Amino acid sequence: MKRYVLPSVAVAAALISGLLAVAQDTPTKRSGQVEQRPPSTYQKMAAEGPGGPAPVHDMTGFWNGPLEPKFGETPSLTAFGESKFKKNIPDPFSAHSNDPWRVCDPFGFPRSATNETRGLAFAPMPEGIVIMTQYQKIWRMVWMDGRELPKNVGTRGGSSSRWYGYSIGHWDGDNTLVVETTGVDDSTWIDRRGYPHSVDMHVTERYTRVDRNDLELSVTIDDPKMYTKPFLEVTNKFKFTPKQLEDEQLCVPSQAIDYLNTIAIPAGQDEVGQK
Amino acid sequence: MRLRTVVSSLALISLLSTVPLFAHHGNAAYETDKAVELKSATVTKFVWGNPHTFLMFDVKDEKGNVVHWAGEAGSPSSLSLLGWTKDSVQPGDVITVYIYQSKTGRPVGRLNHIVLPDGTELKDSALGYREK
């Protein structure tokens, strides 16, 4: 009997992970019903071929992504990290959460790369590259001129922390851009699950342009104050946007508050435990 | 033995499949078994925004009293794939609304779809694919 348990669990786990993967980008389909939701631009692009080789040291342009990326390892919290994590109550649709998203506070970094990832863009700048995020029209300057990251951010005499921190980058080979970031304001969360970070968090993004149409991202986090070891936070895949048509996605504070008062509270969303 | 293994696997899958899947936003607050049909609904406000778009409209109940309703739908990014625009619905429009009402019984819910004065149907991005 016991020898069947592991295969059974493995089969179940494989099926469930498949379900989860499908659920991320497609609506649930009930038996006997016709699915009418059209595919997103990103889903349509999935069938596109590579479009030729990747140009060298160039990611310029708009890229389409999925609504959410794929989470990596479960972060291993320190006791201090655990105490912070427990205080964070995620849910942008709840009047009683303390999710910064609830009132459209800045995502900060790396949440801007781990939440609402439908659009991304790169543009060359003097001394660096600017990385832009469609949701909330965020831009981050990545210095490529060899300067170092600031030290002692958030201490007396040091640089001030910032919503999106300080970023430097370099090319690893012809097609991988590596970006290092620190000095992020610690009131932000690393993702929609509510995981915390300190000002000293060090985030590494690796963008690899596999070919003309495909870009892959991994985000790893090292923050000894909050986590017992560095971990892979998310991976994501982007497609070069056809005709470079981007979307406008803004979380507007007055509208979000209006939504909470008009919909979420009267509908009793908190009462049914939407967390 | 094998049959028992298959049965236990299916039972486990069945159990776990009842766990809500990670989604943008759940709809547990709403009676999603059947949409309420509200005819002659007069639109008072349409908010095309994040995190969700919502519509406010007035409907007379059986006693002739005006009830102020509110219904949410998906984000502009999702709805625009279904033909909605920021100007699809305007205050003063008299429309028909199919809505999954809140379990609280209050006049608020999640849209299934709406029918505009010219007969155009606009579906919600999350629940609009459902039969009414």
Summarised one tens digit per residue, pLDDT across range A207-232 is 999 999 999 999 999 999 999 999 99
DSSP code for A86:
H
Task: Give Cβ neighbours of residue A19 (< 8 Å, ≥ 6 apart).
Answer: B17, B21
Tell me the pLDDT tens digit for each residue of A69-83.
Answer: 999 999 999 999 999
B114 in contact with A, Cβ within 8 Å? no
Cβ of B72 and A259 within 8 Å?
Answer: yes
Task: Give Cβ neighbours of residue B56 (< 8 Å, ≥ 6 apart).
Answer: A262, B43, B44, B45, B46, B68, B69, B70
User: What is the Cβ-side half-sphere exposure of residue A93, based on CA atoms within 13 angstroms?
Assistant: 28
**Please, which residues 114-143 of chain A have a Cβ atom closer than 8 Å to chain B?**
118
Cβ of B52 and A8 within 8 Å?
Answer: no
Tell me the pLDDT tens digit for each residue of A146-194.
Answer: 999 999 999 999 999 999 999 999 999 999 999 999 999 999 999 999 9
Confidence at residue B132, expressed as pLDDT on a 0 to 100 scale: 60
Mean pLDDT of A242-254: 91
Q: Is the pLDDT of residue B119 over 70?
A: yes
B44 in contact with A, Cβ within 8 Å? no
Contact between B45 and A254 under an 8 Å Cβ cutoff? The reply is no
Q: Is the pLDDT of residue B10 over 60?
A: no
**Please, which residues 61-120 of chain A have a Cβ atom closer than 8 Å to chain B?**
67-68, 92-93, 101, 104, 118
What is the spatial distance between Cα A243 and Cα A47, in angstroms, rounded to a whole number?
16
Q: Is the pLDDT of residue B106 over 70?
A: yes
B85 in contact with A, Cβ within 8 Å? no
Q: Is the pLDDT of residue A24 over 70?
A: no
Nearest to B51 among A12, A36, A93 (CB): A93
Task: Give Cβ neighbours of residue A68 (< 8 Å, ≥ 6 apart).
Answer: A24, A114, A115, A116, A117, A192, B22, B24
B10 or A229, which is more confident?
A: A229
Q: Percent of chain A scored above 90 by pLDDT? A: 75
> What is this model's ipTM?
0.78
Q: Coil, helix or strand for A254?
A: helix
A29 in contact with B, Cβ within 8 Å? yes
Among A113-117, A140-144, B9-13, the least confident range: B9-13
Given pLDDT bands bounded at 50, 70 and 90, which one contains residue A93? confident
Nearest CA in chain B to A68: B24
Nearest CA in chain B to A44: B81
